[in-house]
Chain A
Amino acid sequence: MTATRTIEVALSTTGIGSDGRPQRTLLGADGLMTAPPGMEPELAGENMLINIGPQHPATHGVLRLVLELDGETVVRCIPHVGYLHCGFEKIGEYRQYNQIIPWTDREDYLNSMGNNVSFVLGAERLFGIDITPRCTVLRVIAMELSRIISHLVWMGTTCIDIGAFTPFLWSFQERENVYKLLEGWTGARLTTTGTRVGGMIADVPEGWTEGLRGFLDRFPKTLDECDRMLTRNAIWVGRTVGLGVMTPNEALNYGLSGPLLRASGVDYDVRKDFPYLDYETYDFEVPVGTNGDVYDRYLVRIEELRQSVRILEQALKRLPDGPVNVDDPRLILPPKHKATSEMESMIHHFKLVMEGPRPPIGEVYVPTESPKGEKGYYFVSDGTSKPVRWRIRPPSYVNLSAISKMAEGHLLSDVIAINASIDIVMGEIDR
């Protein structure tokens, strides 16, 4: 797949001229960038191995790419992961269900609230409980806010990679506004730990919904500005169109999910196809690309941001009153004032904290649509308060495994754009 370039000028040294200076000719007048035959014959057929990372700003974390280059063209791309491996899944086997939630913040740290919600959705299926209507809507708000954060960071960092600085500042400013909202709700910006099995850490504070309302009024304007800045920008288009193309069949076969899969033209969104949190009752659309290249992935993500705003507006409108936590003493701690004044509540509190809630024997896999793709949590319980197995299905891990396929045949500088388009978070990949 060849890219359409806006500027294509290549100079080549063909020898020393009569004036003693290097003689240069302009190549590519016919659109071809082949060197004249016989030039530098000793270089022909010899591939170079180049190492990018693990500490390189354009690899979005500690990803290491080993590239085999023929000139500047990538012959082979071998990714190396694991530099951030912490053994979350092993640690989870030694923790009660609520105690695992902080670990979910730290895997895909751009989507921490979304991970918290995905985690408890799985755990609640395992415990066999249904959450309250207010909690359902609050969780939808949490998930869509996380999606906005994640896509904004994606847009900002990809712009930096490709050479645009302004949208980076705009998107990071808006991201900060979302973080302020999350901080007001959970007390933390990134490591929110905002959910509990059976409910949330807390209801939203007084005046919080007005803050969200204000954000939803301002945010689409910023989005339109970024849209105007990028979508028809000749440099942006030139550096993204035709790169890293995956056909629908390839995308499915490689297990891609999320915006990557949809950019390839496969109409699959977990929120529509395997709904959770009553997503089927919200009116939103799933953007689907046609070409499966980096540009389409950008288009899909920017449209998803708009759809998230739509979902948030509907969620704000329908946010019902009522309790946030389920009324189930097996899971939910008694109120603090009761735990410090009544013997029964204190014993209840003590037993819940020390022993932990026990789910019945069984296993669940609940997928959710994270900003990166299908994120699923798989739990296996043997009836004790700690899972036998806790497994994260990491979307960007599977997406990244296709980078060898995507990068083949492209230029070295395009690998950076392709890598950025996958939207990886190494915390999630290495876990």
Chain B
Amino acid sequence: MSTHVQRDPAAPLFAIVHAGQPGDLPSTPKHVPHRGGAANPSVEALRARFGAAILRHEVLWGDTTVFVDRTKVGEVCAWLQSDATQSYEYLSDVTAVEYRDHVRPIEVVWHIRSIRFRRFLRLKAEIPKDGKTPLEVPSVWPVWKGADWLERECYDMFGIRFVGHPDLRRILLWEQYKEGFPLRKDFPMRGRFSRSEQLKNALAADPEARYSIEEIGVADAYGDLPVDIRKRLAGGEKVGE
């Protein structure tokens, strides 16, 4: 247990190597411009390394956003995390944005952070809403384990599949939820079903039967489940689509 104000520069693993004078601690940003300003130096490094996979970048309110080819997200993240000159060891958030515009693509957003260099980077991958492109991006779970629940929530709310995630199922909503994906713009705020139908579904639900398939496997509790759930699980039905 130790307390200290200044970072110890000799500490090998998580010392803060701030790009500036020693003791040059960061300060509260003031008068941040809407657009423009210095981009995160990782952008240049990314372009040098991945070339065409880095589509474009912009600096908005002081933060740098990099648009990445959606098939290359896994490699880009793995490199950003493991490369000693980048060292993005912390995943803040995974989420998605759907615009009110019908044509504008859905964006999957990763907020990542280098604690060592005190850098913040926003990665984005666009998925066109043409009805043909599958809502799929690579999972970054192999890179950051913290992505587990964040990606599950993103799937739960937007229906975006994270390829390579070990256990991609609904998390905040229940597995039998059939109304769709609530944060999509075509989902009405009150839900797809009528109030009476929602109430009927809620009353018919057996909360004790909320064991996942995985848990049933470990427990041999399959026999204890209600008949309809057993039938559904045996048939391999996909729910919530």
Which A positions have Cβ atoms within 8 angstroms of B?
Answer: 47, 49, 66, 68, 76, 78, 80-82, 85, 87, 89-91, 94, 125-126, 128, 130, 248, 250, 252-256, 265-268, 272-280, 283-290, 296, 299-300, 303, 360, 362-365, 367, 374, 376, 378, 380, 382, 388-389, 391, 393, 397-398, 400-402, 405, 430-431
Contact status A391-B93, CB under 8 Å: yes
Q: Could you list 29 A-B pairs, sorted by A, with CB under 8 Å?
A: A82-B171, A90-B187, A126-B61, A253-B146, A255-B145, A255-B146, A265-B14, A266-B115, A267-B14, A268-B90, A272-B26, A274-B118, A274-B120, A275-B26, A278-B27, A280-B25, A285-B4, A286-B4, A290-B1, A363-B97, A364-B61, A365-B122, A378-B93, A388-B100, A389-B95, A393-B92, A398-B149, A402-B145, A430-B172
Chain A residues contacting B5 (CB-CB under 8 Å) are 283-286
Q: For window 142-198 of chain B, which residues contact chain A by CB distance below 8 Å?
A: 144-150, 153, 157, 170-174, 182-183, 187, 189
Contact status B210-A367, CB under 8 Å: no
Chain B residues contacting A287 (CB-CB under 8 Å) are 1-3
Closest Cβ neighbor of B61 among chain A residues: A364
Contact status A299-B115, CB under 8 Å: no
Q: Which of A128, A300, A365, A367 has the most CB of B within 10 A?
A: A365
Q: How far is the CA of A76 from the CA of B214 in the complex (A)?
A: 11
Contact status B90-A255, CB under 8 Å: yes
Smallest CB separation, B163 vs chain A (Å): 20
Chain B residues contacting A90 (CB-CB under 8 Å) are 182-183, 187, 189
**Does B200 make an interface contact (CB < 8 A)?**
no
Smallest CB separation, B186 vs chain A (Å): 12
**Does B91 make an interface contact (CB < 8 A)?**
yes
Contact status A299-B25, CB under 8 Å: no
Given contacts A248-B13, A280-B25, A363-B60, contact A401 B149 (CB under 8 A): yes
Contact status B111-A401, CB under 8 Å: no
**Does B7 make an interface contact (CB < 8 A)?**
yes
Contact status A364-B214, CB under 8 Å: no
Q: How far is the CA of A145 from the CA of B170 in the complex (A)?
A: 36
**Does B132 make an interface contact (CB < 8 A)?**
no
**Does B215 make an interface contact (CB < 8 A)?**
yes
Contact status B118-A401, CB under 8 Å: no
Q: For window 58-114 of chain B, which residues contact chain A by CB distance below 8 Å?
A: 60-63, 65, 89-93, 95, 97-101, 109, 111
Chain A residues contacting B65 (CB-CB under 8 Å) are 363
Which B positions have Cβ atoms within 8 angstroms of A?
Answer: 1-5, 7, 11, 13-14, 16, 25-32, 34-35, 60-63, 65, 89-93, 95, 97-101, 109, 111, 115, 118, 120, 122, 144-150, 153, 157, 170-174, 182-183, 187, 189, 210-212, 214-215, 218-219, 221
Given contacts A388-B100, A391-B93, A393-B92, contact A401 B16 (CB under 8 A): no
Smallest CB separation, B180 vs chain A (Å): 12
Contact status A253-B145, CB under 8 Å: yes
Contact of A76 among B14, B89, B95, B218 (CB under 8 A): B218
Q: How far is the CA of A299 from the CA of B2 in the complex (A)?
A: 10
Given contacts A296-B1, A388-B100, A393-B111, contact A367 B92 (CB under 8 A): yes
Contact status B172-A374, CB under 8 Å: no
Contact status A49-B218, CB under 8 Å: yes
Chain B residues contacting A401 (CB-CB under 8 Å) are 146, 148-149
Smallest CB separation, A258 vs chain B (Å): 12
Chain B residues contacting A300 (CB-CB under 8 Å) are 1
Contact status A378-B219, CB under 8 Å: no
Chain B residues contacting A405 (CB-CB under 8 Å) are 145
Contact status B182-A87, CB under 8 Å: yes
Contact status A278-B92, CB under 8 Å: no
Chain A residues contacting B212 (CB-CB under 8 Å) are 78
Given contacts A252-B89, A289-B1, A388-B100, contact A276 B28 (CB under 8 A): yes
Given contacts A248-B13, A253-B146, A401-B149, contact A364 B25 (CB under 8 A): no
Contact status B60-A278, CB under 8 Å: no
Chain A residues contacting B28 (CB-CB under 8 Å) are 275-280
Q: How far is the CA of A131 from the CA of B124 in the complex (A)?
A: 30
Contact status B99-A388, CB under 8 Å: yes
Smallest CB separation, B225 vs chain A (Å): 13
Chain B residues contacting A47 (CB-CB under 8 Å) are 218-219
Chain B residues contacting A94 (CB-CB under 8 Å) are 189
Contact status B97-A380, CB under 8 Å: yes
Smallest CB separation, A282 vs chain B (Å): 10
Closest Cβ neighbor of A268 among chain B residues: B115
Smallest CB separation, B179 vs chain A (Å): 12
Contact of A125 among B11, B61, B120, B171 (CB under 8 A): B61
Chain B residues contacting A430 (CB-CB under 8 Å) are 172
Closest Cβ neighbor of B172 among chain A residues: A82
Smallest CB separation, A106 vs chain B (Å): 16
Chain B residues contacting A402 (CB-CB under 8 Å) are 145-146
Closest Cβ neighbor of B156 among chain A residues: A82
Smallest CB separation, A117 vs chain B (Å): 13
Chain B residues contacting A296 (CB-CB under 8 Å) are 1
Given contacts A49-B218, A267-B16, contact A280 B172 (CB under 8 A): no
Closest Cβ neighbor of B1 among chain A residues: A299
Chain B residues contacting A81 (CB-CB under 8 Å) are 171-172
Chain A residues contacting B30 (CB-CB under 8 Å) are 130
Chain B residues contacting A285 (CB-CB under 8 Å) are 3-5
Closest Cβ neighbor of B89 among chain A residues: A252
Closest Cβ neighbor of A283 among chain B residues: B5
Given contacts A47-B218, A376-B111, contact A89 B183 (CB under 8 A): yes
The 4 closest A-B pairs by CB, nearest first: A255-B146, A49-B219, A82-B172, A401-B149
Closest Cβ neighbor of B218 among chain A residues: A68
Contact status A393-B182, CB under 8 Å: no
Q: How far is the CA of A390 from the CA of B1 in the complex (A)?
A: 38
Q: How far is the CA of A315 from the CA of B98 in the complex (A)?
A: 41
Question: Known pairs A89-B157, A272-B26. 19 more at Cβ < 8 A?
Answer: A78-B212, A81-B172, A82-B171, A85-B172, A90-B182, A90-B187, A94-B189, A250-B145, A255-B145, A255-B146, A266-B14, A268-B115, A273-B115, A288-B1, A303-B3, A362-B60, A389-B97, A393-B92, A402-B146
